[in-house]
Structure 1
């Protein structure tokens, strides 16, 4: 059984144009306990990318949400899979 968690947050890039991006994260924890996620990054309603989605190491939903947010923030900061 899948247990999806949808979360939204904003992140302001510290370099470049220092835009504030709207991020939507869909995280799923499978019955096996493995967590994966998909992310959508927008600026002023324009899709800017989804970052680099790799499997998560965390094995609880709360830790997986924090890990996914940390990874997406890093992707935005370094423009990995995200266009400024």
Structure 2
């Protein structure tokens, strides 16, 4: 009858740590202070902030686009303005 042991069929000795115990011993200790878990997230407030940020970005982008088009017209790009790109 075959014995259930390590790779050559030899049983593990009592004074040898098992493979899983050695892996736990080799794990590095955490560095620095242990921080508490973060507070729970209110996803409704998070989504409101996200929507507000996206609206602000769209407004800013539209204002910058209008400013660029106005500057192009002032700089003498009349064909571009007359073509309906303003």
- Per the normalisation by structure 2, the TM-score is 0.25
Structure holding more helix per residue: 2
The structure having more radius of gyration, on CA atoms, is 2
- Per the normalisation by structure 1, the TM-score is 0.26
Relative contact order higher in (CA < 8 Å, ≥ 6 apart):
1
Structure holding more strand per residue: 1
